[in-house]
Amino acid sequence: MKNFLMTSGSLKEVAKLYGVTYPTVRLRLDRLIQKITISEDTANNPFISLIKRLALNEKIDFDTAKLLITEYKKTQKEET
């Protein structure tokens, strides 16, 4: 975080600093943003948050996650 701030938020500079490519830094930042977003959703629906975390951590593929969430939402609508 400190290095990100010290480079004025320049992902290219962060990439140079850590000796990785820009796309690597971008991907890691995107995943971090997604994890933060999911954490905020946890209070609303822990099951959906779990599925999203599994997909982000590549424990299940994206299509499977999407299918599980869709089916779960259908069951929730049926119960109400």
> What is the percent of the chain where pLDDT is above 90?
30
Q: What is the torsional sign of CA 70, 54, 9, 19?
A: negative
DSSP 59: S
The mean pLDDT of 16-32, rounded to a whole number, is 91
Interatomic CA distance for residues 33 and 36, integer angstroms: 5
- Cβ 58 vs Cβ 79: under 8 Å: no
pLDDT for position 32? 83
Q: What token pair was written down for 29?
A: 């930042």
Per-residue pLDDT of 45-76, as tens digits, reads 888 888 988 988 889 998 999 999 999 989 98
Q: Is there a contact between 54 and 39 (Cβ–Cβ < 8 Å)?
A: no
Comparing 42 with 73, the larger pLDDT belongs to 73
* % of the chain with per-residue pLDDT over 70: 88
pLDDT band at 42 (very low <50, low <70, confident <90, very high): low
